[in-house]
Structure 1
Amino acid sequence: MAGGEIWVLPAFGQGHLFPCIELCKLIASRDYKATLVVFSNLSSSIPSNFRDDPLTDVVVVPATAPRPGGEGSHHQMEQSKALLADFLESLLSDRSERSTRPVCAVLDVLIIIGWAAEVFDKFGVRTVGLFASGGCSVAMELAAWKASPLDIEPGETRLLPGLPEEMGLTVSDLKRRSYLVRLRKWGQQQGSGAGSDSGPGSSRPSGPGGPPRMGPPGPGEKPYWVDTTESSIALVINTCHDLDGPFLEYLANQLGKPVWGVGPLLPDRYWTSSGSLLRDREIRPNKQSNVTEEDIIRWLDSKPRGSVIYVSFGSSVGLTVEEYDTLAKALEESTWPFIWAIQPGSGGSEEGYYPHGLEARARERALIVTGWAPQLLILSHPSTGGFLSHCGWNSTVEALGRGVPFLAWPIRGDQFYNAKLVVHHLKVGYMVSDHDPVMVKGEEIVRGIDKLMSDEEVKERAVKVSSDVFQGGFPACALADLDAFRSFIDQKNHVDLR
């Protein structure tokens, strides 16, 4: 352990845990010990071989991480933060000598950096902020805030100084679907005691008795992370310059501190399986599902190359029941084969949404997966020709790496800017609605699917992005930034030991 020990603290949820696991492996490859600090209910999702490397370790917080969203989750989140703060303070107190403490703590900015940074600062441990999202969304949040007030007229584009012209804001960018949907529900539920939660991408109260506000901030609002990362000595982001170069440079210039792109933080096997099927079960812990990977392969093998659209909104976000119904009718009306992954609890009910009768009506065109869908497998199969996606960052880079174009339907948080990156900057997809991201109509979905699946040029551009950024293995520019990060920490550590 020549360099010392670096702690990595992910935010709650597997979408943040998995990138942090990969970051720990990269840190260990640079001769630092990387220790992952996680809540007990997330520890079962850590691959067993992670602990086999003498330079990677896990510290388990003896408490359960809350699931963001839902009634009462704000209180649960605050309790979990307090438990983690006490645990960290006790852990650091036991390491009385500076040489036994971590030389640095990498903190996921989504939830924990503000108060966790105070604990590490108390013990003289420097902190680095980690964005598990991409650089575009972070830069766009900052630029949109600096450009406020945003009084954009219909048909107008507000350019953001320092960022590419195609990323200028329009009226549709100012609409935030999650905020408006939740606002409508709040109006219906006043007096019902409905809870709120504080994590970005979920509601937080705007004031006593006031309507919920959705985080992260909308255009023109101050990003939540600006103040909480002020004490961080640097930022690392789950992307690379080949994918997000203008946005990483903008952030470094605006923030006046090092900003490194050390990703995309995808499993090792992702980078070594170019041109072949990726088996999720070989990479991530198995989850419950109504179909096996073999079932999916057989189904995809029966379809023409590039003819299947994959539909998924990830594991932690989703549509309303009404929107799911609209989507189901659109998929039935469309003529393209589809795989639709539907998560438990979708639609906001405990039993979850299910489009009863759709498979029978669509017949051989439909495969509905309930529970865990092997997304890497589906995206790497040659029959998959499009992805109807919420544009969560993990899903976005997984599809980009396999050359699959997008029909983007963002729901909350960074997904809006990820979708803008995909559609306007990389030009490898379309928005599901060019006018209103809040109330998407069935005919727009049908039209969008047909437009995407019939467009050979957008498919060719998606393949080119995959080839340019991903096909050479883990990006060389990300390895260079990782080396710069290590040198920076080495220098800080050397100053501390003098």
Structure 2
Amino acid sequence: MSPEICILPFLGQGHLFPCMELCNHLASRNFHVTLLISSTLAASVPSSLRQHPLIKLTQIPSSDSGPHHPPRPGHHDELAKGLHDALSDNPIRPVCAIVDVLMSWSAETFKKFEVPTVAFFTSGACSAAMELAAWKAHPLELEPGETRFLPGLPDDMALTCSDLKRRRHDPTPHHHDGFPPPPPRGPGPGKMGPPRLGEQPPWMEEVRETIAVMINTCDDLERPFINYIANHIGKPVWGVGPLLPEQYWKSPGSLVHDRDVRSNRRSSVTEEEVTQWLDSKPRGSVLYVSFGSEVGPTMEEYTCLAQALEESCEKQPFIWVLQPGSGRPGPPGFGGPEAEGEGYFPRGLDGRVGNRGLIIRGWAPQLLILSHPSTGGFLSHCGWNSTVEAIGRGVPLLAWPIRGDQYHDAKLVVSHLKVGYMVTDDLSEKVTRDDIVKGIQRMMGDGEMKKTAEALSAKFRHGFPRSSVAALDAFKNYIIQRFVK
């Protein structure tokens, strides 16, 4: 009988999506896979995954009302009990569990059932490697104009004064998709959210008891960073991504329809309306603006962005995605029409820009937009999923990181891969209308950068990266040799 593997994702779409794709890859290697998922996220799992003969969905009961509400006290204890019950009810002991690094509270439960764990980073390798290298280079104090090279990492990732200038994100009780990260397990450096520059990364504590590490990336994008982490922790480290839908890899020259691969959520537009609007625009002319569902600029910065899109880019067609609650502290949540006044809402902008702009409120078909030939640039927070979705389709980025690993993803895009610009050199200050205008004009007008982006995306034209196929095969061999009798 095929061995069983459990996968435990963190709460939130950005973590769930790659875990669902990982289920498919492992099932194709003849593993039985159990996706252990909070009941609040179960509706996000498509029927194609539920109906797969080798994949089982096990819900961990959760009394919380949804991913955009902070959990009540004791929520992690409730999840731990649910995990314990799920493992108790399973007549077969899994050969291992692949656990999101933000779910470290589960370690004691898996240990009790003698299930070895593999740590899984749903973000890229660069952010983890940079956190580690910056900690080892401590203290981090740079003079104006000084550059600090980080031993073991590419020279183009050297730290500069501008890298150290970060505005603190508005403090809220929320983390990814509304949930705080779990409390640190036992003594150690675990803290809320990612480390400040120069602090020991909390993930080092989380991977200490694991047998190996998986990262949602590939050699073509991040080989130096994968190797750096592997050399430091002395365990197998596999780049097994980017874990994007199979349709994304199968259709490099055609549109990807989000509705076919991701559960539909509420939106002010249909995919047909988005496609029709994009079809009416010249090739490579459209600027796509989206900050995902978790973070965004301040209310004041949204006003600057609206002014930049309306007044200063007169011929620039754009798609702007606005989540209800945009500009407010904490993650936006879709509360229906009555919630629209709670965040930034550019009343009248639709009429003033006419057909030059498409403003989407709520869920946007991002894979469709990025795969359409009319899309020529992406103003993004540089969350990892958004970053790799753009890179794989040859779309340059204008990076506006807000928090955490987004700063490292932005530096990877701008300095190492050279397929984007920063929206401003000083992220400790408010981003202004002029910053945005100049950034858009630089990115959309840079033909050489577009060629670089297209050359990088060409590495993915043959489908899912070969290095990641090899890494998943190596993981299978490692598990079978060590744990399957």
Q: Normalised by the size of structure 2, how large is the TM-score? A: 0.92
CA positional deviation for 1:80: 2.4
CA contact (8 A) 2:40 2:67 kept: no
1:381 aligns with 2:372: yes
1:435-450 equivalent positions in 2, closer than 5 A: 435-450=426-441
1:472 aligns with 2:462: yes
Amino acid at match of 1:341: V
CA contact (8 A) 1:174 1:218 kept: no
1:25 aligns with 2:17: no
CA positional deviation for 1:177: 2.7
Corresponding position of 2:300? 322
1:144 aligns with 2:134: yes
CA distance in 1, matches of 2:179, 2:200: 16
1:49 aligns with 2:27: no
CA distance in 2, matches of 1:65, 1:401: 36
CA displacement 1:14-53 (0-9 Å, x = unmatched): 1111100000111111111111011112111101121222
Amino acid at match of 2:319: I
1:359 aligns with 2:350: yes
CA contact (8 A) 1:262 1:482 kept: yes
Amino acid at match of 2:407: F
1:407 aligns with 2:398: yes
Amino acid at match of 2:129: A
Tell me: CA distance 1:64–1:447, structure 2 relative to 1, closer, same or farther (3 Å).
Answer: farther
Query: Gapped runs of 5+ residues in structure 1?
Result: 183-194, 207-212
Corresponding position of 1:108? 100
Tell me: CA distance 1:200–1:290, structure 2 relative to 1, closer, same or farther (3 Å).
Answer: closer
CA positional deviation for 1:103: 0.8
SS at match of 2:159: coil
CA positional deviation for 1:69: 7.8
CA distance in 2, matches of 1:197, 1:404: 31
Aligned with 2:208 (options 225, 230, 244):
230
Aligned with 2:326 (options 323, 346, 358):
346
1:406-425 equivalent positions in 2, closer than 5 A: 406-425=397-416
Amino acid at match of 1:252: A
1:34-45 equivalent positions in 2, closer than 5 A: 34-45=33-44
SS at match of 1:34: strand
Corresponding position of 1:89? 84
Corresponding position of 2:173? 196
CA contact (8 A) 1:293 1:374 kept: yes
CA contact (8 A) 1:278 1:380 kept: yes
Corresponding position of 1:167? 157
Which deviates the most, 388-397 or 50-59?
A: 50-59
Tell me: CA distance 1:69–1:225, structure 2 relative to 1, closer, same or farther (3 Å).
Answer: farther
CA displacement 1:40-93 (0-9 Å, x = unmatched): 1211110112122221110001114676787xx3x63x5221111111222333
Aligned with 2:233 (options 246, 255, 261):
255
SS at match of 2:379: strand
1:10 aligns with 2:5: no
Tell me: CA distance 1:32–1:119, structure 2 relative to 1, closer, same or farther (3 Å).
Answer: same
CA distance in 1, matches of 2:66, 2:195: 20
CA distance in 2, matches of 1:250, 1:92: 35
1:62 aligns with 2:57: no
CA positional deviation for 1:310: 0.2
CA positional deviation for 1:412: 0.9
CA distance in 1, matches of 2:231, 2:399: 30
CA positional deviation for 1:437: 4.9
Corresponding position of 2:111? 121
CA displacement 1:78-122 (0-9 Å, x = unmatched): 522111111122233345x7xx1111011001x212x21111111
CA distance in 1, matches of 2:423, 2:65: 32
CA distance in 1, matches of 2:303, 2:270: 26
CA distance in 1, matches of 2:192, 2:96: 32
1:245 aligns with 2:235: no
CA distance in 2, matches of 1:203, 1:298: 39
CA positional deviation for 1:202: 8.6
Amino acid at match of 1:394: N
CA positional deviation for 1:287: 1.4
Amino acid at match of 1:42: L
CA positional deviation for 1:435: 2.4
What is the alpha-carbon root mean square deviation over aligned residues? Answer: 2.1
Tell me: CA distance 1:218–1:201, structure 2 relative to 1, closer, same or farther (3 Å).
Answer: farther
Amino acid at match of 1:433: T
CA distance in 2, matches of 1:5, 1:177: 44
CA distance in 1, matches of 2:192, 2:77: 23
Query: Gapped runs of 5+ residues in structure 2?
Result: 184-190, 333-338
CA distance in 2, matches of 1:437, 1:280: 35
Amino acid at match of 1:62: P
CA distance in 1, matches of 2:152, 2:113: 38
CA distance in 2, matches of 1:152, 1:62: 49
CA contact (8 A) 2:239 2:471 kept: yes
1:176 aligns with 2:175: no
CA positional deviation for 1:198: 6.4
SS at match of 2:247: helix
Amino acid at match of 1:158: R
Corresponding position of 2:335? none
Which deviates the most, 376-385 or 49-58?
A: 49-58
CA contact (8 A) 1:386 1:406 kept: yes
Corresponding position of 1:220? 198
Corresponding position of 1:369? 360
Percent identity for Structure 1 against Structure 2 = 57
CA distance in 2, matches of 1:245, 1:201: 32
Which deviates the most, 148-157 or 170-179?
A: 170-179
Tell me: CA distance 1:64–1:145, structure 2 relative to 1, closer, same or farther (3 Å).
Answer: farther
